[in-house]
Chains A and B, each alone.
Chain A
Amino acid sequence: MAYINGIGIISPQDTLPGSAFLEPVIEHTSEFMKSIEPVYKQYIDPIASRRLSRLIKMGISSAKMCMLDAGLEVPDAIITGTGLGSVEDTEKILGELTKEEKFLNPTPFIQSTYNTISSQIAINLKCHQYNSTYVHRCFSLESCLIDALLQIDEGSAQNVLTGGIDEMTLNHLTIIRRLGLWKPEAVSNLDLWSSPLPGALAGEGAAYFSISKERNEKTYASLSAVQTLYKPSSTEQTAEAVVRFVTEQGLRPEDVDLVMMGNNGNDEHDRICDEVMMKALPSASRMLYKHLCGEYHTVSGFALFVAANILRKQFIPSSLINIPSAPGKLETILIHNHFRDTDHSFILVRR
């Protein structure tokens, strides 16, 4: 168990420092939900910034926002989760390779390396301590949180800076659309749940958290536990795992007030989310949020930002959808997500 004492987030909503909590809602009508980016020179030296690709800039900036929010200068560990790293840089190299192998610019290669974000943050914060990067689909951020809790429990770190980050590009969207799980054309995010077109809406974002051993005046919420579940054999088994996870934290299933649902607009995906939670936590209020940020590997970062703020502010912005109705109290929130029913994750956040 540890505390979330700072958050820095760049997302398709206006979540930059000083913004109101998800008000007003930003509508996106283009091919994918692109992040509302900050003025980078506030966080990165403009000369250095010129060479950095968008994902790296989002990573450094959100990490710095998080440290400012937490009132810390140097963390004891930096851990980043990313499903795909810098897609833009990877595409640049692949594009060059199709012409001839004579390209000379090393920058895209360096930045395509998955650990660039964590290491650029280390360079920017002058942090020589533990530094790692997890790159496992929808387990990327969850693995970071598990590692962060281990470091804190074991006493090797007091404050861990950890987050999840992924970007979308048009080429990448074209490729994943051919896999069939995504909306085949642009749909407004506000129509995600009513659109007759099947599939998820692609999104992106960067969310960093300052996770600390001690509660303080900046604390948003406590991060009670994080667990991943690989390849369950049925929704029953997944539901049992949810109940066991909650019970292991000394709670009864009915103690969970709110579940941030993994639903993304893809019918098969959503059916699994609904079945699992109806079985495991039938009394909890279920919340849909992916119309605000879209779907991506480290989307739980957006969910964790929402959950932590709901618990601190004790209200639910009207842009979030509660089924069947808003919960009576806001003490305990479970975040569930999954990737093709193979990788399920659970994050428990408490007031």
Chain B
Amino acid sequence: MGIRVVITGYGIVSSIGMDAGEVLRSLLDGISGIGEITRFDTIHKGKLPLAEVRRSNAELLEHLGLKNKKKYSRTSLLGMAAARQAAEMAGIKPGQSLRTGLISANTVGGMDRTEDFYPLFLENQSKGRISEVATHDCGDSTEKIAEYLGVRDFITTISTACSSSANAVMLASEMIKAGLIDRVIAGGTDAVTRFTLNGFNTLMILDKTGCRPFDEERAGLTIGEGAAFLVLESEELAIREGREIIGLVSGYGNANDAYHQTASSPEGIGAGLAMAKALEMGCIEPAAVSYINVHGTGTQNNDLSEGIAVQKLFVDTVPPFSSTKSYTGHTLGAAGAIEAVISLLSVQNGCIFPNLRWATPMKELYIRPVTSLLRNIPVEHVLSNSFGFGGNNSSLLLSKYNSR
């Protein structure tokens, strides 16, 4: 058998909690983070909901022990908060001899600051604080997080729309298996911005009432913000270092729908391929999957396409499934990692979190999501789906750790 990649730490910041403990509490209590827009001025205030992290940038800076507010985008601040938790849990400290990497993902980089800069700049090209665009690119937040944690040995940034951070976990696992790096902090971060809110609004896929994944009446997604990171290393290293092993990355699959830039294929080709690849790598029969944390954005298109792909792959052994985007909103570049952490919480706590705001089954599907909390059940293998615009589909298979 080849090298197994294990998880030895995680961290999460989202609209339902500033750490894994708070997030678990919200998930158990059925408390959603979706609410009114407070982060910025917009004509959509009071009309469209968001799932915002309930901390201002000033509060996040203080939380992180940082002073220079000109240096950091909100994307960076959220990422630093989540990555610090992950590093602490796994005992990562600067100066250790292990080769440590950071692979982060996001979709709009420091757009939260660029959109403050741009109106002034357009009025007069010598105006606008230039420090506000220095954080524009996607790589900036990754370098800020690396600097904050003292990570030096490998860094990069992935952006594959809504599957971004699932791909960060995949690359990290591949690099560990190939022996290119000892351990990786992998995940993603994204802040809500007017850019994203208005962009999705032009596509007319934002639900005015908060997303209702897999419901017949669903009317779109709800944008959220947050960050999550996992610490990955080889099983052998984790044992040698005496780390507590939280879970196993037993499989992953990345496939492309190659159908349409913003719509999924009606048969869910890419989705089906990604899930099948993940199960194949993990040598797991579909029937052995305990839970699917579905992508479940709440758009007409995604839920139908994903639902059909799930039915096709699992046939009559469809495991319990739910979309926790009904709690966290769609956190875009962070979604894959946020949902990977939620999947681990499911494995660790033997529970499956419900799909909130669900009322009516979809006409086209025979499957229905879990709508009330399932407790005290063995959760061995979780499939976590992250599907994005551009047909970028990825699935992670996360499992309970068993020494072999």
A interface, CB within 8 angstroms of B: 78, 83-85, 93-98, 100-106, 109-110, 112-116, 118-120, 122-123, 125-137, 139-140, 143, 146-147, 150, 153-154, 174-175, 178-179, 228, 230-231, 342-343
Sample of 7 further A-B pairs with CB below 8 A, known A123-B261, A139-B157:
A95-B122, A115-B389, A128-B255, A135-B157, A174-B125, A179-B130, A230-B153
**What would 23 A/B residue contacts be, using CB atoms closer than 8 Å?**
A83-B137, A94-B114, A94-B122, A98-B118, A98-B122, A101-B42, A104-B202, A109-B199, A109-B202, A109-B203, A115-B159, A115-B388, A115-B389, A119-B391, A120-B261, A122-B391, A123-B261, A131-B254, A133-B158, A136-B139, A136-B142, A136-B155, A228-B154
| Cβ–Cβ contact B273 & A128, under 8 A | yes
Q: Does any Cβ of A come within 8 Å of B308's Cβ? A: no
Q: Does any Cβ of A come within 8 Å of B362's Cβ? A: no
Residues of B within 8 A of A146 (CB): 180
Residues of A within 8 A of B317 (CB): none
Q: What is the CB-to-nearest-CB distance from B50 to chain A, in angstroms, rounded to a whole number?
A: 14
Q: Which listed residue (A83, A153, A231) contacts B139, Cβ 8 A?
A: A83
The number of residue pairs between A and B whose CB atoms lie closer than 8 Å in the complex comes to: 185
| Cβ–Cβ contact A101 & B194, under 8 A | yes
Q: Does any Cβ of A come within 8 Å of B322's Cβ? A: no
Q: Which listed residue (A103, A133, A175) contacts B160, Cβ 8 A?
A: A133
Q: What is the CB-to-nearest-CB distance from A206 to chain B, in angstroms, rounded to a whole number?
A: 17
Distance A174 CA – B125 CA, assembled complex (angstroms): 7
| B166-212 residues at the A interface, CB under 8 angstroms | 167, 171, 174-175, 177-178, 180, 194-195, 198-203
Residues of B within 8 A of A130 (CB): 254-256
Q: Known contacts A109-B199, A122-B256: does B118 contact A94 (CB below 8 Å)?
A: yes
Shortest Cβ-Cβ A-B pairs, 5 listed: A119-B390, A109-B199, A135-B138, A114-B159, A106-B202
Q: What is the CB-to-nearest-CB distance from B12 to chain A, in angstroms, rounded to a whole number?
A: 23
| B309-333 residues at the A interface, CB under 8 angstroms | none
Q: How many residues in B have their beta carbons less than 8 Å from beta carbons of A?
A: 66
Residues of B within 8 A of A230 (CB): 143, 146, 152-155
Distance A98 CA – B158 CA, assembled complex (angstroms): 28
Distance A106 CA – B134 CA, assembled complex (angstroms): 26
Q: Known contacts A97-B194, A122-B391: does B270 contact A128 (CB below 8 Å)?
A: yes
Q: Does any Cβ of A come within 8 Å of B52's Cβ? A: no
Closest to A84 in B: B137
Q: Known contacts A130-B254, A137-B139: does B390 contact A115 (CB below 8 Å)?
A: yes
Distance A93 CA – B322 CA, assembled complex (angstroms): 34
Q: Which listed residue (A84, A112, A228) contacts B156, Cβ 8 A?
A: A228
| Cβ–Cβ contact B152 & A93, under 8 A | no
| Cβ–Cβ contact B178 & A114, under 8 A | no
Residues of A within 8 A of B167 (CB): 132
B interface, CB within 8 angstroms of A: 42-44, 107, 109, 114-115, 118-119, 121-122, 125-126, 130, 133-134, 136-139, 142-143, 146-147, 152-161, 167, 171, 174-175, 177-178, 180, 194-195, 198-203, 254-262, 269-270, 273, 388-392
Residues of A within 8 A of B152 (CB): 230-231
| Cβ–Cβ contact A131 & B256, under 8 A | yes
Distance A147 CA – B103 CA, assembled complex (angstroms): 12
Distance A230 CA – B118 CA, assembled complex (angstroms): 30
Q: What is the CB-to-nearest-CB distance from B262 to chain A, in angstroms, rounded to a whole number?
A: 6
Q: Known contacts A98-B122, A114-B107, A342-B143: does B130 contact A175 (CB below 8 Å)?
A: yes
Q: Which listed residue (B143, B154, B160, B273) contacts A115, Cβ 8 A?
A: B160
Distance A126 CA – B146 CA, assembled complex (angstroms): 37
Q: Known contacts A175-B121, A175-B130: does B391 contact A123 (CB below 8 Å)?
A: yes
Residues of B within 8 A of A231 (CB): 146-147, 152
| Cβ–Cβ contact A132 & B160, under 8 A | yes
| Cβ–Cβ contact A103 & B202, under 8 A | yes
| Cβ–Cβ contact A119 & B270, under 8 A | no
Q: Known contacts A93-B198, A110-B261, A230-B146: does B392 contact A119 (CB below 8 Å)?
A: yes
Most chain A CB inside 10 Å of its own CB: which residue of B154, B159, B199, B257: B159
Q: What is the CB-to-nearest-CB distance from B394 to chain A, in angstroms, rounded to a whole number?
A: 9
| Cβ–Cβ contact B118 & A97, under 8 A | yes
Distance A109 CA – B193 CA, assembled complex (angstroms): 13
Distance A157 CA – B138 CA, assembled complex (angstroms): 27
Distance A48 CA – B372 CA, assembled complex (angstroms): 46
Distance A174 CA – B137 CA, assembled complex (angstroms): 16
Residues of B within 8 A of A147 (CB): 171, 174
Closest to A170 in B: B125
Q: What is the CB-to-nearest-CB distance from A84 to chain B, in angstroms, rounded to a whole number?
A: 6
Residues of A within 8 A of B270 (CB): 128
Q: What is the CB-to-nearest-CB distance from B113 to chain A, in angstroms, rounded to a whole number?
A: 12
Q: What is the CB-to-nearest-CB distance from B388 to chain A, in angstroms, rounded to a whole number?
A: 7
Q: Known contacts A83-B139, A135-B139: does B258 contact A123 (CB below 8 Å)?
A: yes
| Cβ–Cβ contact A113 & B161, under 8 A | yes
Q: Which listed residue (A110, A139, A143) contacts B262, Cβ 8 A?
A: A110
Distance A102 CA – B138 CA, assembled complex (angstroms): 26
Q: What is the CB-to-nearest-CB distance from B40 to chain A, in angstroms, rounded to a whole number?
A: 11
Residues of A within 8 A of B126 (CB): 178
Distance A131 CA – B166 CA, assembled complex (angstroms): 12
Residues of B within 8 A of A112 (CB): 199
Distance A150 CA – B44 CA, assembled complex (angstroms): 45
| Cβ–Cβ contact A116 & B390, under 8 A | yes
| Cβ–Cβ contact B43 & A102, under 8 A | yes
Closest to A137 in B: B139
Q: What is the CB-to-nearest-CB distance from A72 to chain B, in angstroms, rounded to a whole number?
A: 16
| Cβ–Cβ contact A113 & B107, under 8 A | yes
Residues of A within 8 A of B202 (CB): 103-106, 109
Closest to A153 in B: B178
Distance A270 CA – B50 CA, assembled complex (angstroms): 46
Residues of A within 8 A of B107 (CB): 113-114
| Cβ–Cβ contact A103 & B198, under 8 A | yes
Residues of B within 8 A of A94 (CB): 114-115, 118, 122, 195
Q: Which listed residue (B118, B137, B195, B260) contacts A123, Cβ 8 A?
A: B260
| Cβ–Cβ contact A150 & B175, under 8 A | yes
Residues of B within 8 A of A137 (CB): 137, 139
Residues of B within 8 A of A228 (CB): 154-156
